[in-house]
Chain A
């Protein structure tokens, strides 16, 4: 036995020492495996409490009743800072972790974009957010806004609000405030702004008997609205009239147009329809309906589970469609295209592109370098050089060589960036760099977040170039790829937003529909 041990044990130790590096090289799949097997989950008290309810709001609906435009200020131009994309209600936290609070209740508002051109202390300059909450049904509360002539809306009589949380970027001491409908209770609210996730987190202390009623687990009802902040305006909501100016928004159709750019609408409601439901003749404001935040019993179908079921049903159909499409349309003969160009004596970027499509990456690299020698500012050549190096990294047998190519590709993409002068050049760079960042192993290079960023920048350029069916398909692609990249980087929340954004497009390609169905999301066009 000891003789066998003296052979096996050293050899086992040698095997272990030899194999030891490999887990470190395949960290990504290992990490995923460990997370799934051990079900690693951080105690939600640290992030503000367990999520009770999450409400997605459509992107690009920051037009209020339908035609509102932002105030005419340089700080607002080209920005979408008044577009809420998600509202999250969390469960109250009692045994607080990492803080001095005895207990709190947190709500999160996620915006499509944020910015701080006016250096507001809280980190965001322009939005003013009001969260009106009903905790007791018709027992008490108000159907009018906290300040008269502020938002110019009223509230559902079945759910008059009891508390208002006011959040703006310029609040003193880095806090918002909460006030009861009868003004009997007013306290500061801790506000955290996380620029990376574009989310405003508001924590309400549980020190009022009225608020503490939520501890019995009852459903609460929320109205969440955002306007443009003006400290001198009623409630902080900048007025809106017909024409935009520096002290007012524009596009209003009436004096009763709500001063709300975006409202988190409950499922089944339509923002434009509700916000334009005021009555000019009687002077009645538009009436908002609330979001219901309640514990959903396990085992019962929520709308999300229904959507996932429908997606699963459609998935097989679209899988077949995809298979049929690729059988019917064989890929073009890229090698023949290269031969043709060479025969015609065509050089330049066209030849580089042909080499690239024919997967002759070394030739593509060589030709790009020749172009750059004579025209160092040629953005296209610089981008294709990076792409050619990048693709060669996947062809190397040795991991060390592969790593070298990857590093060179990253460096070349960085060099190409300042050379891109036109939107098309930038678009190509963002798309190709995003594609490459998304393709390299996340565990080693951690580039998925950067890939998502590139795809979203590409999406911005595509939107600026106007709408056409090609552009629309490309835009949807950008959103889907951004969502995939966010998911790979572990940011499921952002991924969800962009998948849903892509799902709103009318004319998705079969591949795009399939990508959404795989994630349990049914495109809007298929829901009808």
Chain B
């Protein structure tokens, strides 16, 4: 094989994927993307569908070829957040005429149900059998299914690959070059504050049988919907939403370069951490490659790489359950010691043994077999399948509101109006 062909087929970096593996994985994701996004669209929204499709596939392709998981994941994740809220708000304006939720809308129990509500209503549901949130049972069931499947597959990776709110503070945390306010991983209370929030919203909701977080504490109300501002109570609540959004989602992530809202405030993030163990994937640190420099724990946006308190020699970080599997530590590590891995079989490749046996053999057949087994190992690697799964789940959300927003933007340019009616 000529050098030129070999260089085209080979990965572009030490952590990148070869071209054959990239194509295989892209074909897999691409066919589902086509089905979920393009095939379901018609008319002018088909153009928007193709744009969204192209965007997703371009990011996925680049991620695989370059191996820069954190960078392209972040673009994808921020895009999910930025494409979600315009479509959501536009639909509210079209159907209801306002972003505000009045008593009549609550009465109809058609309030949109997001995944965060699950952490709020779980305890009351366990004890009373009723959901203390005015949403349709179909909407609740569908969100439970989507979130449940995603959690089983990628664990707390939901918080870095799928959550349509997380892209806000993820994006804001990357804007500044350096943190203006330093928060170290030693500050456990900041990391565990999310669990305190989970306990708080769960118990308060249980004691009052009201969705306390949604009524008072959700920072994302002002980019989705909020109760009609027509009384002292609702004014105070609205003020809290504004302060929490700007404080936790915009300002603090910008100043600290940490994902403050997701790390320390979101009760659902803490809940996902409790469930993250029931998952095939792990973030593993190769102790032999690790030099104990702790760059990874500083880079982690959720302070999830904690350092052992005692021990001689180099202190290899421990990946805690709050890890959102964003890949920032992998990018930061100067020795490529951190990667996605499977439970029970870290560092083992399926076909590694066969390639060792074929290593010294010459001939086209041996070369082809080496190539095929190498490609299969790449495709079956934890890194490949985790990234594929994360993109797929994020794509499911983009298939609904992503196309909608892009369609509306096209409409804005062509017709001068963002709304359909």
Q: Which residue of A lies closest to B139 (CB)?
A: A31
Beyond A35-B138, A98-B227, whether A192 also contacts B131 by CB under 8 A is: no
Residue-wise interface mask of B (343-382) relative to A, using a CB-CB cutoff of 8 A (1 in contact, 0 not): 1110011100000000000000000000000000001111
Beyond A16-B280, A16-B389, whether A192 also contacts B231 by CB under 8 A is: no
Assembly CA distance A13 to B382 (angstroms): 8
Assembly CA distance A60 to B42 (angstroms): 41
Q: Does B200 contact A (CB under 8 A)?
A: no
Contact (Cβ within 8 A) B142 A31? yes
Contact (Cβ within 8 A) B145 A27? yes
Beyond A2-B345, A17-B388, A46-B109, whether A190 also contacts B103 by CB under 8 A is: yes
Which residues 1-29 of A sit at the B interface, judged by CB distance below 8 A? Answer: 2, 5-7, 9-14, 16-18, 20-21, 23-24, 27
Residue-wise interface mask of B (397-411) relative to A, using a CB-CB cutoff of 8 A (1 in contact, 0 not): 000000000000000
Tell me how far the C-beta of A396 lies from the nearest C-beta in chain B, rounded to whole angstroms: 11
Tell me how far the C-beta of B226 lies from the nearest C-beta in chain A, rounded to whole angstroms: 12
Beyond A41-B131, A196-B108, A407-B41, whether A17 also contacts B389 by CB under 8 A is: yes
Residue-wise interface mask of A (486-499) relative to B, using a CB-CB cutoff of 8 A (1 in contact, 0 not): 00001000000000
Contact (Cβ within 8 A) B109 A23? no
Contact (Cβ within 8 A) A47 B109? yes
Contact (Cβ within 8 A) B344 A5? yes
Assembly CA distance A197 to B41 (angstroms): 29
Contact (Cβ within 8 A) B134 A403? no
Beyond A24-B396, A31-B145, whether A13 also contacts B342 by CB under 8 A is: yes
Q: Does A269 contact B (CB under 8 A)?
A: no
Main secondary structure of the interface of A (DSSP, over half): helix
Contact (Cβ within 8 A) A6 B348? yes
**Contact sample, A vs B, 25 pairs, CB 8 Å cutoff:** A2-B344, A10-B350, A10-B380, A10-B381, A10-B385, A16-B153, A17-B385, A20-B153, A20-B392, A24-B146, A27-B145, A34-B144, A34-B145, A38-B141, A40-B131, A42-B109, A42-B130, A42-B140, A46-B106, A46-B134, A47-B108, A95-B209, A95-B210, A98-B134, A192-B104
Which residues 276-303 of A sit at the B interface, judged by CB distance below 8 A? Answer: none
Q: Which residue of B lies closest to A27 (CB)?
A: B142
Contact (Cβ within 8 A) B345 A97? no
Interface residues of A (CB under 8 A from B): 2, 5-7, 9-14, 16-18, 20-21, 23-24, 27, 30-32, 34-35, 38-48, 95, 97-100, 190, 192-194, 196-197, 201, 399-400, 403-404, 407-408, 410-411, 444, 490
Q: Which residue of B lies closest to A48 (CB)?
A: B107
Tell me how far the C-beta of A195 lies from the nearest C-beta in chain B, rounded to whole angstroms: 10
Which residues 118-152 of B sit at the A interface, judged by CB distance below 8 A? Answer: 124, 128-138, 140-142, 144-146, 149
Q: Which residue of B lies closest to A401 (CB)?
A: B39
Question: Could you say which residues of chain B place their CB within 8 Å of the CB of A190?
Answer: 103
Q: Does B193 contact A (CB under 8 A)?
A: no
Contact of B392 (CB < 8 Å), options: A12, A17, A40, A192: A17
Tell me how far the C-beta of B101 lies from the nearest C-beta in chain A, rounded to whole angstroms: 8
Contact of B141 (CB < 8 Å), options: A9, A31, A100, A407: A31
Assembly CA distance A283 to B231 (angstroms): 51
- Give 5 new A-B contacts, CB below 8 A, not counting A16-B280, A31-B138, A34-B145: A6-B348, A14-B379, A35-B141, A42-B109, A408-B42
Q: Does B43 contact A (CB under 8 A)?
A: yes
Question: Could you say which residues of chain B place their CB within 8 Å of the CB of A43?
Answer: 124, 128, 130-133, 209
Tell me how far the C-beta of B241 lies from the nearest C-beta in chain A, rounded to whole angstroms: 15
Assembly CA distance A38 to B141 (angstroms): 9
Contact (Cβ within 8 A) B344 A30? no
